[in-house]
Chain A
Amino acid sequence: MASEDPCFIGSKTTVRGQVSGKQDLVVQGRIEGHVSLDSQLTVEEAATVEADVEVAVATVRGEVRGPIVAARSMVLEATAKVAGKLRAPSIVIEDGARFSGEIEMDVELPADVTAETP
């Protein structure tokens, strides 16, 4: 089952510190610190993430404060509330999403955030 099992941070859970890994993570609760994944991060509607986020794909429906770097793509859905700097080759902001900060698309990613998983 290697990395097939799900990873959830439930709505009544807070994680403080560094979260890293290779599998998809769904957040319904709260993360403070640093998130670094070679996979997809989903921030659900009631979730709060106050962290430096470095992932392959980011889907945001909740609240994120902090820079988000996605190696592949990023979607801020209609319920998203985001403040920080966004960087990804492809960024979608849906109607209704709230965002303040800087956006950088179509740039060469730093060596430590490659589009391919090794």
Chain B
Amino acid sequence: MANTVIGSSIVIDGEISGDEPLTILGTVKGKVSMAENVTIESGATVEADVEGQTVIISGKLTGNVNAREKLELRPESKMVGNAKAPRIVVADGASFKGNVDMDV
């Protein structure tokens, strides 16, 4: 099973890139650029521009998102930044500040 998990007590300052699903439970600053799905779990803090297939946010994200398929803001999530994706779902309870570009 190819998979990357950044654990809750891990801090990465830099760049993560690759071609497999990425789950973040810890802290990432810099840039995230994946060809697969990116999941930012509850409790995670991400200060980075995020690129992925489907991007699911349950934690905190400061930065721009570019999702090729879908962006999902789950309840309790907090996002500040611009979102670009063909499909965007914002759940009840999510907080978001920024521009949305659905390419319409």
Contact = CB atoms under 8 A, between A and B. Distances in A.
Contacts of A25: 7, 10
Contacts, number: 85
Q: Main secondary structure on chain B at its contact with chain A?
A: strand
Interface stretch (B11-19, B57-65, B75-83, B92-100): B11-19
B10 A20 contact: yes
B8 A2 contact: yes
Nearest to B19: A12
Contacts of A6: 5, 7
Contacts of A12: 2, 18-20
A17 B7 contact: no
Interface of A: 1-3, 5-23, 25, 28-29, 33
